[in-house]
């Protein structure tokens, strides 16, 4: 299996302004000079973390999803991030895994942030999404999911003898006032699941004057911090090395000793 090129975009967001956010991300993606295969955007990248889905939600045929399709095809990339979606009268904090050919997977945020009232406006998801690209398996999660390790727990699959996934991606709007848990949890998820862990957070103040310090991170399967950026906007492109992942799992086969349970 070959290496994988990924780009993390840490940025401020235009509060509840879909058009301005799509324009901004269009410019940032166009500015990427290196070859890349996956571009990761923050949680609710088109609006910020808003509790006004009644005003802001779009359908799967709306401008934000159409923009993702167009951009993924135009740049020949996989584009992922979450946005506010309305479907059958319900609202979802939905992550999309948009491929260049327009085929996409979806993951609806499982753990809604009760402290911020998210559960009063959105429906929780009940299924994990593990996407595949170039032989890599990628587990996709959203913000608050990071606090609940059972949901993202890796395991050796009996049918293949291989781990369920190789990379954990978490897209977030995680405030600076709780930045220590954010940095600690993304670190822990990489170590306990013997995977690369990518956390992409926003920066700046949102419409509720809550500040976000970013601290977007890339952690390797032994817990080494390969990238972390605080406070500033940044576009970071790097290569996930398959040989590093395989080496760690071969030399330290910890997953084989893990407790057995099933995530529904």
Separation between Cα atoms, residue 229 and residue 214, nearest integer Å: 7
Q: What is the CA radius of gyration of the chain?
A: 17
Q: Which of 69, 71, 109, 183 is catalytic?
A: 109
Encoding tokens for residue 22? 């799509």
Indicate which residue of 16, 143, 176, 195 is catalytic: 143
> Helices 63-75 and 18-30: crossing angle, nearest 10°?
10
Q: Are 180 and 217 in contact (CB under 8 A)?
A: no
109 is annotated as an active-site residue: yes
Q: Is 143 known to be catalytic?
A: yes
* Cβ 49 vs Cβ 173: under 8 Å: yes
Among the options 16, 43, 118, 176, which is catalytic? Answer: 43
Distance CA 141, CA 171 (A): 7
Could you give phi then psi for residue 244, rounded to 5 degrees? -65, -45
Contact by Cβ (8 Å): 126, 110: yes
| Whole-angstrom distance, CA of residue 173 vs CA of residue 193 | 23
Catalytic positions, please?
Answer: 43, 109, 143
């Amino acid at each position: 299996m070959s290496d994988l090129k990924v780009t993390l975009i840490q940025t401020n967001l235009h509060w509840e302004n879909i058009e301005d956010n799509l324009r901004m991300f269009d410019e940032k993606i166009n500015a990427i000079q290196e070859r890349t295969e996956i571009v990761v955007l923050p949680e609710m990248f088109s609006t910020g973390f808003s509790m006004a889905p009644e005003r802001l939600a779009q359908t799967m045929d709306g401008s934000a999803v159409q923009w993702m399709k167009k951009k993924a095809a135009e740049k020949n990339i996989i584009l992922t991030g979450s946005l506010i979606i309305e479907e059958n009268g319900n609202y979802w904090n939905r992550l999309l895994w948009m491929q260049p050919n327009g085929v996409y997977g979806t993951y609806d945020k499982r753990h809604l942030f009760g402290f911020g009232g998210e559960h009063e406006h959105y429906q929780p998801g009940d299924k994990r999404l593990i996407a595949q690209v170039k032989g890599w398996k990628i587990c996709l999660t959203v913000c608050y999911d990071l606090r609940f390790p059972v949901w993202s727990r890796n395991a050796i699959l009996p049918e293949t003898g291989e781990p369920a996934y190789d990379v954990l991606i978490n897209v977030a709007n995680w405030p600076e006032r709780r930045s220590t848990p954010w940095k600690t949890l993304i670190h822990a998820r990489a170590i306990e699941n013997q995977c690369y862990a990518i956390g992409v957070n926003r920066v700046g103040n949102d419409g509720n004057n809550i500040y976000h310090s970013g601290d977007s991170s890339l952690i390797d399967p032994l817990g080494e911090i390969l990238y972390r950026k605080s406070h500033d906007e940044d576009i970071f492109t790097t290569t996930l090395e398959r040989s590093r992942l395989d080496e760690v799992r071969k030399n330290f086969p910890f997953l084989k000793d893990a407790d057995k349970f099933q995530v529904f």
